[in-house]
Structure 1
Amino acid sequence: MVDTMALDRNATALAHAGDWIVANAEEAVAALGRMIAIDTSFPPGLGYDDFAALMEEFVAPLGFVTERVTVPESLWQVPNGPASGPRTNLIASRDSGRPACGLYVHVDTVPAAAGWAGDPLRMERAGDRLIGLGAADMKGCAAAILLALRAARACAVDLAYDPVLLFCTDEEGGLYPGVRYLAEQGRLPEHILNFNGSAEARIWAGCFGLFNLLVRIHGQAVHAGEGNRQGAGINAVEGALPLLNALTVLKARIATRVSALPPPPGKPPLAAQLNLAAIQGGTAGGQVPALLEVTLNRRYAPEERFEDALAEIEDVIRRSVAAVPGLSVETMLVGHLMPTADPTGPHWPRWQAAMGEGFGYAPETFRKWGAASCSDFGWVQCATGRQEVLLGGLGRPDRNIHAPGEHTTVPDIVSLAQAILFYLAADFRPDLNPDLDPQLPPTKS
């Protein structure tokens, strides 16, 4: 016999928890401000220990046991490369015997670009808009997760899953992202929600891969007054001009390679990319520069092979530099994210329903698309052999992610927290729960 009174109690608790999230949204706002204040920009990624300590403070009252897992230096360190400091990942878990559900966020941000009106590490508020580095990508998602879990505990919501919080490093183009290391060590749950995505009515179709290649062009320094004399010095900046021109030609050729991955609604087809992402050379006007460093960012479609894409660039570099007497060049890979293949799986209908409930999306509004932006979950698929990756988050086209003025909003944090709460709740759409075991007792939050 169905215990209708228990069902009513559970439904009431879930409804109260959804209201609790709205009433206590300022807790998430305050938490987000503290997260943004910790500089976790990668490169170099020096703030990971401090961020882990803050997360430990936040999750301890919720009954989580935490463990710090550090990626060995031998896996990510490159001589004179962009990364430095310990790569500290944090796992927070509770074990009641229910199936585990990973809740993933990457803790690193890109460095603050020029053009911020204020301090990017001090959150500013303009009405419901929350402005700061990482507000949308993706510290605001961590604030939404914590808000959902606080609501579940405050309102005694029965959970279908044991949440496992995964706070991971070096997603922003690192050589060895933390979630890759956790996957290879067998430390990840089979079932994971990745919040490095969109707040829109979206079903994820996968994404491109990327790699960052550091190119060092070596000349010979002399006094600038001797620079025009034959045999006196080799100007690395001027000598690199043929290479930069050749890379510009290659960039246009690469951009013609279109992927079959479905683009966002109303957008053009997704195409491969080559970008000159950073350049630095010379020291002062009185010296012929002996070194030019260029960082290339290559975004490659799932249809392309990493090895081929890398070899194509290295061939252009080698031929261009060889044409300039006296120059030498070295290249090194400083970041790599594999493409994420079609992440379809049995939990997607439930997550879609939870997103619809939290954000107010009707089922028919959801569309499936991929992205030329990248994810570290291609490594997870490779290491585990598991296809499914659920994706949500706070991304929207107008949120200035990776740019000055990056922001999210209080309503979006509330909606995402409600979606997470619904997804984890035992009595939310049990007909869409592929892990449901009626023999197990409910799990209190």
Structure 2
Amino acid sequence: MSVVTHREQVPPVEQALAFIAGEVETAVADLGRMISVDTTFPPGLGYDDFAGLMEEMVSALGFAHERVVVPDALWQVPNGPASGRRTNLVATRRSGKPVCGLYFHVDTVPAAPGWQHDPLRLTREGDRLIGLGAADMKGCIAAILLALRAAQACGVELAYDPMLLFCTDEEGGLYPGIRYLAEQGRLEGHILNFNGSAEPRIWAGCFGLFNLLVRVHGQAVHAGEGNRMGSGANAIEGALPLLNALAALKARIATRVSALPPPPGKPPLAAQLNIATIQGGTAGGQVPALVEITLNRRYAPEEQFETVLAEIEETVRRSISLSPGLSVETALVGHLAPTADPTGPHWPRWQAAVGKGFGYALGDFRKWGAASCSDFGWVQRTGMQEILLGGLGRPSRNIHAPGEHTTIPDTVSLAQAVLSYLAADFRPELIPETLPPRT
């Protein structure tokens, strides 16, 4: 008489979920290696190095991979903030099943002043995993690789062939990698975007943004001669009317409220204008000849990009005209289009998988949008409307700020959610590709 072991009685999916919890330290180690590769944007110089690291990790899981470089002509701006090759990595493992794209942006924002730890070195404090990109979104990559490793180790049959998309310039770039892949027809099936939240959320879409570089030119002379030349030659002083005008415009823009549903308990979502960077001058003994200002405008889906850009450019021109001896130029250096409502037939199953991984009940989920932005507005413009959203974001995670972190429990939960979603045996009645056609 044969003996059936306990392990044989446990379904492969449940074995894989347990595997994830037991092997999470491998994900922590992976995350440490990822954080140590500097992919800050701007400028975005580390994309080739990061692609090399990902090639090593996905090859061990049986994925073929290809580097796809965005042509320079699409993203380069003379004297702009971006530089280096825009190297994206597409990894596939095909068996003939429908494709599910798993999207990650590999860039991070630059480390802001105030970090108490080395931002490019993973620091562990209890369950906290601290480092630049830990939550947004290298931690997501580590979690999904752990999920795929668990499926392989436990023999889980997948409902979808995963396509891993490691993409550039999401943090406000002029031509994000996922846009290029979409416009080149390189995307297949449907996509899970991990630039989102670990909370029970159904995505309603988000704002668009653009970054406008404003250069105010004056005339460099000896500082002792500055008064004789007139204040208009001082680019910094001459830009003061512009800064005042932008502050007034910022207040007016903030009154423009969107119909996009806000997060629970939060005020209505409103348009935003921020002075993001300002640089100028060389030394105390010289009148500054150049000041550069980066403006970040987050615009609601109800607003038109051309209109809001023209409004800012007119404010710039009018303000600088008040300062004799100065000239001004502007350059668009980043643009993400708004993302429209991305719901579709795969959302109910993704919602169930998130509930499985994080322990949420169906009634916990709420639908909301955000003034934060996504590069998937460009994807939608190519015809792929449905975009699933998940991730490791939470309000307490200091994303884009000193001390950015995620946690080991959330890493496990996200990996378990993705494993559940990809597994053929999880809620098969919710797999759209196998449902009978509607009559």
- TM-score interval w.r.t. the shorter chain? over 0.9
The corresponding residue for 1:311 is 310
Write the distance in 2 (CA, Å) between the matches of 1:207 and 1:350: 22
Once the two structures are superposed, residues 347-391 of structure 1 have per-residue CA deviations (whole angstroms, 9 ceiling, x without a partner) of: 0000000000000000000000000000000000002x1210000
Write the distance in 2 (CA, Å) between the matches of 1:377 and 1:330: 29
The corresponding residue for 2:16 is 17
The alignment's TM-score, normalised by the length of structure 2, stands at 0.97
Partners of 1:104 and 1:193 within 8 A in 2 = yes
Q: Which secondary structure state, in structure 2, belongs to the residue aligned with residue 158 of structure 1?
A: coil
Partners of 1:222 and 1:232 within 8 A in 2 = no
The one-letter amino acid paired with 2:30 is A
For 1:149-168, list aligned pairs within 5 A. 149-168=148-167
Q: 2:243 aligned with 1:244, yes or no? A: yes
The corresponding residue for 1:109 is 108
The one-letter amino acid paired with 1:268 is P
The one-letter amino acid paired with 2:144 is I
Q: Which secondary structure state, in structure 2, belongs to the residue aligned with residue 62 of structure 1?
A: coil
The one-letter amino acid paired with 1:367 is R
The one-letter amino acid paired with 1:333 is L
Write the distance in 2 (CA, Å) between the matches of 1:233 and 1:302: 39
Cα–Cα, structure 1 residues 121 and 10, in superposed 2: closer, same or farther, change >3 Å? farther
Partners of 2:39 and 2:45 within 8 A in 1 = yes
Partners of 2:232 and 2:323 within 8 A in 1 = no
Once the two structures are superposed, residues 53-107 of structure 1 have per-residue CA deviations (whole angstroms, 9 ceiling, x without a partner) of: 0001101111100000000000000000000000000000011000000000000
Q: Which secondary structure state, in structure 2, belongs to the residue aligned with residue 74 of structure 1?
A: helix
Cα–Cα, structure 1 residues 305 and 226, in superposed 2: closer, same or farther, change >3 Å? same
* Pairing partner for 1:425 from 423, 426, 433: 423
Cα–Cα, structure 1 residues 239 and 156, in superposed 2: closer, same or farther, change >3 Å? same
Write the distance in 2 (CA, Å) between the matches of 1:240 and 1:208: 29
Superposed displacement of residue 232, structure 1: 8.5
The corresponding residue for 2:261 is 262
The alignment's TM-score, normalised by the length of structure 1, stands at 0.95
The corresponding residue for 1:77 is 76
The one-letter amino acid paired with 1:318 is R
Once the two structures are superposed, residues 20-69 of structure 1 have per-residue CA deviations (whole angstroms, 9 ceiling, x without a partner) of: 00000000000000000000000000000000000011011111000000
For 1:263-412, list aligned pairs within 5 A. 263-383=262-382, 385-412=383-410
Q: Which secondary structure state, in structure 1, belongs to the residue aligned with residue 135 of structure 2?
A: helix
The runs of at least 4 consecutive aligned structure 1 residues that moved more than 2 Å come to 8-11, 230-233
For 1:56-205, list aligned pairs within 5 A. 56-205=55-204
For 1:36-51, list aligned pairs within 5 A. 36-51=35-50
Partners of 1:10 and 1:157 within 8 A in 2 = no
Write the distance in 1 (CA, Å) between the matches of 2:30 and 2:343: 33
The one-letter amino acid paired with 1:223 is H
The one-letter amino acid paired with 1:294 is I
Which ranges in structure 2 are unaligned for 5 or more consecutive residues?
none
Q: Which secondary structure state, in structure 2, belongs to the residue aligned with residue 228 of structure 1?
A: helix
The one-letter amino acid paired with 2:424 is A
Write the distance in 1 (CA, Å) between the matches of 2:9 and 2:247: 60
Q: Which secondary structure state, in structure 1, belongs to the residue aligned with residue 11 of structure 2?
A: helix
The corresponding residue for 2:213 is 214
Partners of 2:98 and 2:189 within 8 A in 1 = no
Write the distance in 2 (CA, Å) between the matches of 1:233 and 1:258: 38
Q: Which secondary structure state, in structure 1, belongs to the residue aligned with residue 215 of structure 2?
A: strand
Write the distance in 2 (CA, Å) between the matches of 1:375 and 1:87: 18
Superposed displacement of residue 161, structure 1: 0.3
The one-letter amino acid paired with 1:35 is M
Cα–Cα, structure 1 residues 419 and 10, in superposed 2: closer, same or farther, change >3 Å? farther
Cα–Cα, structure 1 residues 332 and 257, in superposed 2: closer, same or farther, change >3 Å? same
Superposed displacement of residue 399, structure 1: 0.1
The one-letter amino acid paired with 1:99 is P
The one-letter amino acid paired with 2:282 is T
Q: Which secondary structure state, in structure 1, belongs to the residue aligned with residue 360 of structure 2?
A: coil
Write the distance in 2 (CA, Å) between the matches of 1:10 and 1:187: 41
Write the distance in 1 (CA, Å) between the matches of 2:230 and 2:316: 24
Q: Which secondary structure state, in structure 1, belongs to the residue aligned with residue 433 of structure 2?
A: coil
Q: Which secondary structure state, in structure 1, belongs to the residue aligned with residue 313 of structure 2?
A: helix
Superposed displacement of residue 435, structure 1: 1.0
Cα–Cα, structure 1 residues 95 and 323, in superposed 2: closer, same or farther, change >3 Å? same
Write the distance in 1 (CA, Å) between the matches of 2:170 and 2:399: 14
Write the distance in 2 (CA, Å) between the matches of 1:172 and 1:230: 41
The one-letter amino acid paired with 2:249 is L
Q: Which secondary structure state, in structure 2, belongs to the residue aligned with residue 92 of structure 1?
A: strand
The one-letter amino acid paired with 1:227 is G
Partners of 2:231 and 2:238 within 8 A in 1 = no
Which ranges in structure 1 are unaligned for 5 or more consecutive residues?
439-445
Cα–Cα, structure 1 residues 336 and 164, in superposed 2: closer, same or farther, change >3 Å? same
Write the distance in 2 (CA, Å) between the matches of 1:230 and 1:404: 43
* Pairing partner for 2:414 from 407, 413, 416: 416
The one-letter amino acid paired with 2:397 is R
Q: How many residues align?
A: 431
Cα–Cα, structure 1 residues 232 and 338, in superposed 2: closer, same or farther, change >3 Å? closer
Partners of 1:226 and 1:232 within 8 A in 2 = no
Q: Which secondary structure state, in structure 1, belongs to the residue aligned with residue 137 of structure 2?
A: helix
Q: Which secondary structure state, in structure 1, belongs to the residue aligned with residue 367 of structure 2?
A: strand
Q: Which secondary structure state, in structure 1, belongs to the residue aligned with residue 252 of structure 2?
A: helix
Write the distance in 1 (CA, Å) between the matches of 2:435 and 2:66: 29
Cα–Cα, structure 1 residues 10 and 239, in superposed 2: closer, same or farther, change >3 Å? farther
Cα–Cα, structure 1 residues 164 and 230, in superposed 2: closer, same or farther, change >3 Å? closer
